[in-house]
């Protein structure tokens, strides 16, 4: 039986009929006259090796087939629609070629002594005590010498030995991560029984750091003695040596823990855990509860300024507070780039700053943590900062003078005001106004001119703008002005990128298809993880010259640029804050990537005053996130009591004294907040108070902490699960999908009521019964459609109702994902970005695991079993018949379905298969790449070898899983 929907025979047919020559088994080019009944794209489309057109009655006719290179030649970049404006030197700029002044400044300001002049700048120096294999790995990745400030910091008393905590700050790109890496690795290598936790705020950062750390520790062993012995006390108090049956492993194991990851590794299976904030807090709670916290040797907290974050800062504070109270031999290292923005835009002396205003936050945090504090303002790559206003570029250091001049001219027209400003403050450069209507806006004109100038000179530019939609609009505008390139290799690489994007399950975004050919891309949270990774890698390697992104990129992956252009002072509706501005500007210029950097902040007249204040502002003081108006002490106290960390009133007071809240508030007020929080927890039946004034967590309180829910979320989940136990809709899966919809993700879901009603109309009786049981009323949905009103969320009852409807709406999307509906189809169905659907799926994995743990702690075994089964479906993104195969490495839902339909019907068949028999099926997963490889014999061989290696991994993984099940 042939696989008609793609024009392929099954792998069994192929394998039985001929020898293993994988390049010709699947993905054959169709004859020139072939006409087939296959799915079609409703428009003329160019694919890797052939062009096609739509015929009547759903048939696709191949009208031509040309070699790939000739097709690519015809797909060269289209001519520019308009040209970018020229940028002329102003009175304040030297008449030199763009970039020359950077090289001159770089020579003067970045001259630092080498290790030959200062032996302490080499990591091989005996004072650091690092093994040769580790220093060799650092050198292989480009880290041969360290900066003077890094040496001063590392050699401060008590740090390399792990006796003191450390809090330090350094600019983005100043090398702050290396200090933490050295301290962490030294601690693990010299103390082979100890573990480390490295905490990062975002999944993308965790994944990036995971790759880096695994490369750094390759072939590096822990200091485990060959004949390790330990003392064991006998029954009569005598001691005698006993050789361990299981020796400590010398290999350093690095594991990533983050939402959506499918790792089976546990705390016991790792030496270095690289985690998101939520996962790190859960690991520490588990270690405390299981009395294994003594295994922890060092905790590194990156982006420590996120203590002030409204949504996640309290978790960082909880972690530090628990570690401080324990008084174990655990070194805490906190780092950040919390320099004031005003100073960021001024050339600062390299090396260590004194105790000035920038030290206030760092010193306060260091006092709280009883840590050494260290401040560096050194940047190895010089950065020039500019403000762009009305097509004129001004040095940002004169921003205060600029505002003072502009404020006197508020009654004047923009043109005369700009001219008057230039009379007072000489312009660095000026941008010619454009005659093209697309560039009539001065801010857009400046953005395009600065971006195109950077790309023309062969460098990379990052453009930050305020919304996802703006990213795509600006990418299109800039690409239209990009000059035509005749570099065949560059064009070939961009076409390869287009082919990679087109082969993704979500398909190719039409805007990206147009802009990539001209060397421009965009990056925002509405895109899928795979799209963002491909675009980021293409920009980092120089295939794309210009990347337009939202501000989330600044705090995410590490993508440096010669020039950073911030198009407008507003990110969304709000003015950008000092911290985010620092993050964005910090992307300009990176050591080993570039020798200079520039930042341009483009502002409009309405925001001029706010921008000038922003450029002159210091970083706001960090405040505790445990204050009542934020998260409060409730979760902090519940976690501490439920894990057995504290119980009595005096111990609880001692715990509160370890919080940042206690450091920043009056003592009596802090204790008053503590008493109120304890009483609320008792009233909500999460804690009970004993006669001896000790507090203990109830079974419900234990379940809330074990599932990593906030108290208010745990109470909501508890009420819904109690009702579900009484009457759970088991003849369908809608009830489970509703239960697995993450609360926080649901509350940010925007409901399209027409789509909501359409989905209700399509539901079977079981699904409708499940939704009505949780509180969804079809009549209310119909009313919302007819009235066009939005949900009211003022009173507690209204908030509760909104939560139910938002969760139900998001549950439709989870249901579709688990039924193997393509992600792009779901995005179109609910009119939301593809990345939003993917993010919901990733968040739901962690939430679902929490729900299962909640039921287990509440002794609701049957409910836990039902939820656990559906959790597997959610993680696999597949129906129940594919669950076994979806556990196998490299086998996702679409691959599993193809394997099943081509003869490998279950896990056992996959485990018993010959790897070569899987190769044709793997070719079907990406037919475009298969077709491309067949046009070039050498590439076909490489591709076949790659797929064979992948097939061997699949069979090996299937054997391992099948062995456990037998």
Give the pLDDT confidence of 289-341 residue by residue, as tens digits: 888 999 999 999 998 888 887 778 889 999 999 999 998 899 999 998 764 33
What pLDDT shows up at residue 879? 67
What pLDDT shows up at residue 76? 54
Largest CA distance in the chain: 96
CA distance linking residue 791 with residue 721, whole number of Å: 24
CB of 4 within 8 A of CB of 39?
A: no
Owner of token pair 């039902």: 866
Same domain, 692 and 759: no
Average pLDDT of span 486-500: 83
Same domain, 494 and 440: yes
pLDDT band at 678 (very low <50, low <70, confident <90, very high): very high
Owner of token pair 């039409």: 510
pLDDT band at 631 (very low <50, low <70, confident <90, very high): low
Average pLDDT of span 52-70: 35
For residue 692, which phi and psi values (nearest 5 degrees)? -85, 20
Q: Shortest CA distance to 563 belongs to which of 699, 455, 669?
A: 455
Same domain, 397 and 421: yes
**Element spanning 36, H or E:** strand 35-36
Query: Which of the residue ranges 26-30, 157-161, 669-673 would you say has the lowest mean pLDDT?
Result: 26-30
| Coil, strand or helix at 607 | helix
pLDDT band at 113 (very low <50, low <70, confident <90, very high): low
**Element spanning 521, H or E:** strand 520-523
pTM, rounded to two decimals: 0.77
Cα pseudo-dihedral 184, 190, 195, 200, rounded to 10 = 10
What pLDDT shows up at residue 72? 45
Same domain, 755 and 852: yes
Q: Does position 641 have pLDDT exceeding 80, yes or no?
A: yes
Average pLDDT of span 832-858: 87
Query: Which of the residue ranges 274-278, 291-295, 536-540, 868-872 would you say has the lowest mean pLDDT?
Result: 868-872
Query: Which of the residue ranges 403-412, 708-717, 825-834 would you say has the lowest mean pLDDT?
Result: 403-412
pLDDT band at 343 (very low <50, low <70, confident <90, very high): very low
Q: Which residue has the higher pLDDT, 966 or 246?
A: 966
> What residue ranges in 535-587 does DSSP mark as E strands?
546-549, 563-567, 570-571, 574-575
Average pLDDT of span 140-160: 92
Q: Does position 679 have pLDDT exceeding 90, yes or no?
A: yes
- Domain with 921, as residue range(s), is 878-966
Q: Does position 464 have pLDDT exceeding 50, yes or no?
A: yes
Average pLDDT of span 183-212: 92
Which structure tokens are listed for 875?
Answer: 């993680």
Q: What is the pLDDT of residues 261-277, one digit of tens each?
A: 656 677 888 999 999 99
CB atoms within 10 A of CB 64: 10
Same domain, 940 and 839: no
% of residues, the chain, pLDDT over 90: 33
Angle between helices 834-857 and 823-830 (to 10 degrees): 100
> What residue ranges in 712-818 does DSSP mark as E strands?
none
CA distance linking residue 794 with residue 344, whole number of Å: 41
What pLDDT shows up at residue 525? 84
Query: Which of the residue ranges 464-473, 804-813, 926-935 would you say has the lowest mean pLDDT?
Result: 926-935
Beta strand 45-46 with 695-697 is unpaired
pLDDT band at 486 (very low <50, low <70, confident <90, very high): low
Same domain, 861 and 911: no
Long-range own/partner contacts, residues 28-32 (CB < 8 A, 24 or more apart) = 28/934, 29/65, 29/931, 29/934, 30/62, 30/65, 31/62, 32/62, 32/64, 32/65
Q: Which residue has the higher pLDDT, 450 or 618?
A: 450
CB of 951 within 8 A of CB of 46?
A: no
For residue 738, which phi and psi values (nearest 5 degrees)? -65, -45
Same domain, 746 and 757: yes
Q: What is the pLDDT of residues 566-590, one digit of tens each?
A: 988 887 777 777 777 777 887 888 7
Is residue 194 classed exposed, middle or buried when 0-12, 13-18 and 19+ CB atoms within 10 A define those classes? buried
CATH number of domain containing 262? 3.40.50.300
Owner of token pair 């809090």: 167
CATH number of domain containing 778? 1.10.3380
Q: What is the pLDDT of residues 394-444, one digit of tens each?
A: 887 665 665 655 554 444 445 555 556 666 677 889 999 988 888 989 999
Domain boundary among 615, 645, 662: 615
Domain boundary among 568, 584, 615: 615
- What 8-state DSSP symbol labels residue 433? P
% of residues, the chain, pLDDT over 70: 76
Please, which residues bridge with residue 254 across strands?
Answer: 272
How many domains does one find in the chain?
5
What pLDDT shows up at residue 663? 86
Q: Is 13 within a domain?
A: no
Q: Is 1 within a domain?
A: no
First and final C-alpha spacing in the chain:
31
Same domain, 602 and 466: yes
CB of 660 within 8 A of CB of 368?
A: yes
What pLDDT shows up at residue 352? 32
Average pLDDT of span 619-628: 79
What pLDDT shows up at residue 873? 66
Q: Which residue has the higher pLDDT, 117 or 834?
A: 834
Same domain, 354 and 404: no
Query: Which of the residue ranges 5-14, 484-493, 500-509, 539-548 would you say has the lowest mean pLDDT?
Result: 5-14
What pLDDT shows up at residue 559? 80
CB of 331 within 8 A of CB of 609?
A: no
What pLDDT shows up at residue 650? 92
What pLDDT shows up at residue 200? 93
Residue-averaged pLDDT of the chain: 78
pLDDT band at 6 (very low <50, low <70, confident <90, very high): very low
CA distance linking residue 876 with residue 870, whole number of Å: 10
Same domain, 684 and 557: no
CB of 626 within 8 A of CB of 307?
A: no
CA distance linking residue 276 with residue 207, whole number of Å: 10
Q: Which residue has the higher pLDDT, 878 or 520?
A: 520
What pLDDT shows up at residue 243? 38
Give one DSSP letter per residue of 240-284, joined into a string. Answer: EEEE-SSPPP-BPPEEEE-TT------GGG-SEEEE-HHHHHHHH
Same domain, 425 and 446: yes
Helices (H), 658-709: 660-664, 667-683, 699-706
Exposed e or buried b per residue across 8-38, where buried means at least 16 C-beta atoms within 10 angstroms of its C-beta? bbbbebbbeeeeeebbebbbeebeeeeeeee
Provide the CB-side half-sphere exposure for 745 (13 A, CA): 26
Distances (CA, A) of 790 to 100, 787, 793, 832: 57, 9, 9, 18
Same domain, 441 and 363: no
Q: Is 320 within a domain?
A: yes
pLDDT band at 697 (very low <50, low <70, confident <90, very high): very high
pLDDT band at 904 (very low <50, low <70, confident <90, very high): confident
pLDDT band at 39 (very low <50, low <70, confident <90, very high): very low
Average pLDDT of span 478-495: 84
Domain boundary among 615, 646, 680: 615
Q: Is 667 within a domain?
A: yes
Query: Which of the residue ranges 20-34, 568-582, 611-625 would you say has the lowest mean pLDDT?
Result: 20-34
Q: Is 243 within a domain?
A: no
Distances (CA, A) of 261 to 525, 526, 791, 894, 955: 18, 20, 34, 19, 22
């Amino acid at each position: 039986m042939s696989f008609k929907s793609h024009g392929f025979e099954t792998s069994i047919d192929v394998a039985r009929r001929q020898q293993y020559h994988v390049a010709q088994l699947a993905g054959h080019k169709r004859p020139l006259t072939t006409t087939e009944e296959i799915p079609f794209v409703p428009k003329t489309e160019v694919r890797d090796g052939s062009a096609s057109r739509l015929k009547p009655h759903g048939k696709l006719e191949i009208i031509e087939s040309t070699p790939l290179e000739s097709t690519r030649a015809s797909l060269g970049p289209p001519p520019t629609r308009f040209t970018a404006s020229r940028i002329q030197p102003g009175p304040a700029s030297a008449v030199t070629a763009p970039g020359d002044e950077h090289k001159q400044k770089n020579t003067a300001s970045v001259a630092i002594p080498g290790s030959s002049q200062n032996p302490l700048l080499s990591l091989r120096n005996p004072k650091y005590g690092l093994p040769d294999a580790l220093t060799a790995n650092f050198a292989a990745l480009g880290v041969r010498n360290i900066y003077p400030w890094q040496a001063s910091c590392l050699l401060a008393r008590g740090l390399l030995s792990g006796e003191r905590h450390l809090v330090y700050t350094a600019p983005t790109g100043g090398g702050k991560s290396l200090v933490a890496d050295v301290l962490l690795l030294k601690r693990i290598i010299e103390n082979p029984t100890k573990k480390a936790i490295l905490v990062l705020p975002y999944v993308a950062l965790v994944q990036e750091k995971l790759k880096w750390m695994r490369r750094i520790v390759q072939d590096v062993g822990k200091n485990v003695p060959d004949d390790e012995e330990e003392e064991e006390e006998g029954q009569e108090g005598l001691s005698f040596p006993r050789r361990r049956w299981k020796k400590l492993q010398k290999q350093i194991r690095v594991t990533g823990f983050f939402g959506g990851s499918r790792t089976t590794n546990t705390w016991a299976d790792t030496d270095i855990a690289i985690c998101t904030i939520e996962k790190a807090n859960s690991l520490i709670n588990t270690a405390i509860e299981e009395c294994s916290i003594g295994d922890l040797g060092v905790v590194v907290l990156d982006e420590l300024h996120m203590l002030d974050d409204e949504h996640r800062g309290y978790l960082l504070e909880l972690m530090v507070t628990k570690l401080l109270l324990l008084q174990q031999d655990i070194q805490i290292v906190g780092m950040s780039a919390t320099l004031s923005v005003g100073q960021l835009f001024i050339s600062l002396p390299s090396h260590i700053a004194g105790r000035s205003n920038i030290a206030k936050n760092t010193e306060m945090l260091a006092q709280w943590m009883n840590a050494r504090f260290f401040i560096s303002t050194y940047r190895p790559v010089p950065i020039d900062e500019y403000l762009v206003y009305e097509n004129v570029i001004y040095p940002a250091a004169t921003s205060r003078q600029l505002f003072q001049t502009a404020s006197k001219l508020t009654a004047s027209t923009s043109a005369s005001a700009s001219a008057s400003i230039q009379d007072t403050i000489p312009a660095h450069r000026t941008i010619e106004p454009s005659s093209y209507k697309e560039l009539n806006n001065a801010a857009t004109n400046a953005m395009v001119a600065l971006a195109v100038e950077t790309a023309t000179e062969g460098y990379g530019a990052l453009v930050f703008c305020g919304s996802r939609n703006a990213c795509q609009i600006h990418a299109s505008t800039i690409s239209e002005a990009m000059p035509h390139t005749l570099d065949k290799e560059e064009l070939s690489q961009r076409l390869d990128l287009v082919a990679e994007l087109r082969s993704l399950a979500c398909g190719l975004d039409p805007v990206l298809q147009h802009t990539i050919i001209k060397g421009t891309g965009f990056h925002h949270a509405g895109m899928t993880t795979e799209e963002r990774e491909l675009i980021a890698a293409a920009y980092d390697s120089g295939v794309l010259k210009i990347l337009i992104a939202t501000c989330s990129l600044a705090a995410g992956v590490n993508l440096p640029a010669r020039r950073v252009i911030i198009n407008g002072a507003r990110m969304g509706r709000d003015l950008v804050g000092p911290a985010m501005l620092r993050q964005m500007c910090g992307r300009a210029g990176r050591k080993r990537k570039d020798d200079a950097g520039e930042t341009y902040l483009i502002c409009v007249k309405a925001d001029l005053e706010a921008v000038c204040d922003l450029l002159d502002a210091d970083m706001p003081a960090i405040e505790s996130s445990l204050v009542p108006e934020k998260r409060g002490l409730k979760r902090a106290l519940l976690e501490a009591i439920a894990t057995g960390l504290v119980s009595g009133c005096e111990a609880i007071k001692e715990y509160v004294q370890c919080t940042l809240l206690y450091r920043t508030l009056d003592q009596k007020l802090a204790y008053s907040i503590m008493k109120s929080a304890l009483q609320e927890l008792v009233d909500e039946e999460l804690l009970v108070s004993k006669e001896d004034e000790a507090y203990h967590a109830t079974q419900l309180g234990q379940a809330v902490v074990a599932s990593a829910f906030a108290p208010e979320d745990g109470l909501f989940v508890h009420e819904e699960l109690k009702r579900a136990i009484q009457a759970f809709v088991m003849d369908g899966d809608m009830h489970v999908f509703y239960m697995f919809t993450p609360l926080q993700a649901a509350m940010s879901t925007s409901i399209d009521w027409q789509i909501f009603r359409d989905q209700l109309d399509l539901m079977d009786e079981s699904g409708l019964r499940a939704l009505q049981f949780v509180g969804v009323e079809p009549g209310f949905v119909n009313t919302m459609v007819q009235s066009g009103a939005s949900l009211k969320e003022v009173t507690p009852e209204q908030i509760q109702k909104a939560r139910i409807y938002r969760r139900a709406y998001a549950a439709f999307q989870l249901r579709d994902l688990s039924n193997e509906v393509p992600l792009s189809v779901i995005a179109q169905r609910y009119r939301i970005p593809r990345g939003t659907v993917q993010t919901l799926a990733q968040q739901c994995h962690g939430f679902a695991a929490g729900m299962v743990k909640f039921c287990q702690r509440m002794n609701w075994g049957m409910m836990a079993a039902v939820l656990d089964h559906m959790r597997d479906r959610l993680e696999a993104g597949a129906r129940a018949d594919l669950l076994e195969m979806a556990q196998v490495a490299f086998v996702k839902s679409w691959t599993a379905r193809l394997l099943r339909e081509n003869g490998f019907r279950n896990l056992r068949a996959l485990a018993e298969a010959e790897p070569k028999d899987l190769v044709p099926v793997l070719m079907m997963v990406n037919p475009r790449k298969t077709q491309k490889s067949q046009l070039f014999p050498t590439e076909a061989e490489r591709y076949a070898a790659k797929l064979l290696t992948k097939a061997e991994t699949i069979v090996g993984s299937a054997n391992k899983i099948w062995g456990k099940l037998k």
